[in-house]
Amino acid sequence: MTTASTTRPTTPALDDLVAAVRRVIDRRVDWARTAELVAEQLRAHLPGPDVLTPEQRRGNPDELAGHVLHVEPDGAFSIVGLVCLPGQTTRIHDHITWCVVGVLAGTEHEELFDASLERIGVRDNGVGEVDGFAPPGDIHRIRNETRETAISLHIYGTDLTRVGSSVRRNYN
């Protein structure tokens, strides 16, 4: 997945979400609790797919396209719009920090794995569904098994423009 490092102009919906996440981060709780609290805020402030520009929503036929929409000035969190075209998939991976995901359009098929890479769960996340998690226990893979574009919003507990990716490890 490529992540474009340019942010788009803010929207009122994005501004409200950023302010709500900032209030959660300021509480300074552990990663698991932060993911839960940020997920609550994303549910309450979930924008529509128009948080991305029409060009961004088209995606990239070669790989999943990530678009950085916001990076907190102190690096505490980043918000990324992810566009997954039909048939596209991530590798099995885990993360360097907590993550919260909300589906804005389409359906994301998610497979969950344990540390031995045994599949322990499968779910289809549709529009409006929000989930949060924190390492350890965050090994998963996302794929678009439908004929429509899937768009999701990801909030990560780090500055992705500085670290480059939220992925800690890819697995075979």
pLDDT digits (tens, 9 = 90+) for 119-148: 999 999 999 999 998 888 788 899 999 999
Helix (H, G, I), strand (E, B) or coil at 40: helix
In whole angstroms, give the CA distance from residue 36 to residue 30: 10
Domain count, the chain: 1
- CATH number, domain containing residue 34: 2.60.120.10
pLDDT by residue (tens digit) across 32-87? 999 999 999 999 999 999 999 999 999 999 999 999 999 999 999 999 999 999 99
Number of H helices, E strands in the chain: 4, 11
Give the pLDDT band (50/70/90) at residue 5: very low
- Whole domain around residue 113: which residue ranges? 2-171
Model confidence at 8: pLDDT above 60: no
Would you place residue 2 in the very low, low, confident or very high pLDDT band (cuts 50, 70, 90)? very low
Q: In the prediction, which pLDDT does 167 show?
A: 66
In Å, how far are 31, 106, 108, 151 from 147, measured between CA atoms? 35, 9, 11, 13
pTM above 0.85, yes or no: yes
Is residue 136 exposed (0-12), middle (13-18) or buried (19+ Cβ within 10 Å)? Answer: exposed
